[in-house]
């Protein structure tokens, strides 16, 4: 299969779990097409990519970010140091390999990892890092198109490290005029920071407004 072929996606919604399509490839052009329509690759099995667009969609509006009293204390104490795009490959590798409660494996395959590294080299994917004593202890990565950031995965090796990274990144995105952070699916962790559900239709309308 020609890995540089750019695949397109249907505008209609997916099935009851949000599955929109299977197959295609993970070329930068295909990924750009997918994200611009609110679709992302969730996992790959046997070389087949599965593409999803959940409805409703879990998102964070940057101006609605909630910072708890305890996190303000962490920020004020300079517990961690913040950086952007300093260690993309290390961030995605750690997101892939870190042990998570209640999860036996990871959706990040070799092909998916390599695809996002290519996207990073194209300037479309970004990593955010939290450091402590010059050691990477937390972070996240995702895709930035126009005024929308699509979060992909995050990790923390120290308590509050991923929250710190997300807060600092959200503040940076606000300075850049970004209007929407896509969290994809619900987590209690993100809800506590202000993330909320919007309908799939509303989400796609925002993409048309904020990306183009």
pLDDT in tens, 145-189: 999 999 999 999 999 999 999 999 999 999 999 999 999 999 999
Residue 23 clears pLDDT 70, i.e. is over it: yes
Q: Is residue 149 part of a domain?
A: yes
**Domain total in the chain:** 1
Residue 103 confidence (pLDDT): 54
Higher pLDDT, 163 or 8: 163
Q: What percent of the chain has pLDDT over 70?
A: 93
CATH code for the domain of 97: 3.40.630.70
Tell me the average pLDDT across 22-33.
94
Q: What is the DSSP letter of 46?
A: T
User: Which residue range is the domain that position 195 belongs to?
Assistant: 57-211
Is 4 part of any domain?
Answer: no
Owner of token pair 């920071």: 193
Confidence grade of residue 64 (pLDDT, cut at 50, 70, 90)? very high
Q: How does residue 2 score in pLDDT terms, banded at 50, 70 and 90? A: very low
Give me the residue label for tokens 């540089």.
4
Q: Is 3 a residue whose pLDDT tops 80?
A: no
Burial class of residue 100 (count of CB atoms within 10 Å of its CB; 0-12, 13-18, 19+): exposed
In a domain, 16, yes or no: no
* 124 conformational bin, left if phi > 0, alpha if psi -120 to 50, beta if neither: alpha
Give the residue-averaged pLDDT of 82-88: 98
Residue from 176, 187, 171 nearest 148 by CA = 176
Mean pLDDT of the chain: 92
Residue 25 lies in a domain: no
Angle at 162 between CA 157 and CA 168, to 5 degrees: 140
Q: Which residues contact 137 (CB under 8 A, 6 or more apart)?
A: 80, 130, 131, 156, 157, 158, 161
Lowest mean pLDDT among 56-70, 72-86, 90-104: 90-104
pTM: 0.93
What integer pLDDT is reported at residue 205 of this predicted model? 96
Contact residues for 37 (Cβ-Cβ < 8 A; gap 6+): 9, 11, 53, 204, 207
pLDDT in tens, 89-141: 999 999 999 986 655 457 899 999 999 999 999 999 999 999 999 999 999 99
Residue 38 lies in a domain: no
**Which of the 8 DSSP states describes residue 157?**
S
Going across the sheet that includes 57-60, the strands are: 81-84, 125-132, 135-145, 148-156, 180-184, 57-60, 196-198
Q: Could you tell me if residue 14 is inside a domain?
A: no
- Helices 161-175 and 69-76 pack at an angle, to 10 degrees, of 80
Q: Tokens 């009293």 appear where? A: 69
| Residue at 44 is within a domain | no
Contact call for residues 35 and 145 (beta carbons, < 8 A): yes
pLDDT of residue 62: 98
Q: Flag whether 109 is in a domain.
A: yes
The pLDDT assigned to 1 comes to 38
Please answer whether residues 111 and 163 qualify as being in contact, where contact means their C-beta atoms are separated by less than 8 angstroms.
Answer: no
Alpha-carbon span 18 to 94, nearest angstrom: 27
Report the pLDDT averaged over residues 50-54.
95
The b-or-e profile of 115-125 (16+ CB within 10 A means b, else e) is: bbbbbbeeebb
């Amino acid at each position: 299969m020609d890995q540089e072929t750019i695949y397109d996606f249907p505008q209609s919604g997916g099935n009851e779990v949000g599955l929109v399509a299977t197959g295609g490839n993970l070329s930068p052009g295909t990924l750009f097409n997918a994200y611009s329509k609110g679709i992302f690759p969730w996992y790959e099995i046997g070389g087949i990519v599965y593409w999803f667009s959940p409805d409703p969609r879990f998102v964070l509006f940057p101006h609605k970010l909630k910072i708890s009293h305890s996190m303000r204390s962490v920020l004020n104490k300079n517990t961690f140091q913040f950086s952007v795009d300093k260690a993309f490959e290390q961030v995605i590798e750690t997101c892939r390999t870190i042990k998570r409660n209640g999860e036996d494996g990871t959706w990040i395959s070799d092909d998916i990892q390599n695809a996002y590294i290519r996207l990073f080299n194209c300037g479309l994917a970004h990593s955010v890092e939290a450091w402590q004593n010059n050691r990477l202890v937390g972070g996240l990565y995702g895709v930035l198109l126009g005024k929308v950031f699509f979060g992909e995965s995050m990790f923390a090796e120290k308590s509050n490290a991923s929250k710190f990274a997300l807060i600092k990144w959200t503040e940076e995105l606000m300075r850049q005029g970004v209007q929407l952070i896509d969290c994809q699916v619900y987590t209690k962790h993100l809800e506590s920071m202000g993330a909320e559900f919007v309908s799939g239709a509303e989400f796609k309308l925002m993409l048309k407004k904020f990306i183009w």
